[in-house]
Amino acid sequence: MIKQKVKDFLDKQLVDFTNFRYNFEEDGEYLYVIFNEAFGEQVDIETTFKIIKDTLYFHSTSFGWKAVEKGSGNKFFWIEITKESKI
Chain length of the chain: 87
pLDDT digits (tens, 9 = 90+) for 69-79: 888 889 999 99
Angstrom distance (rounded) from CA 30 to CA 6? 11
Domain holding 68, by residue range, is 2-85
Structurally, the chain folds into a number of domains equal to 1
Q: What angle do CA 83, 85, 87 make, to 5 degrees?
A: 85
User: Rounded to whole angstroms, what are the CA distances from 38 to 24, 29, 35?
Assistant: 15, 25, 7
pTM: 0.89
Query: pLDDT tens for residues 1-14?
Result: 899 999 999 999 99
Assess whether pLDDT exceeds 80 at residue 87: no
**Taking Cα atoms as reference points, which of 13, 11, 33 lies closest to residue 23?**
33
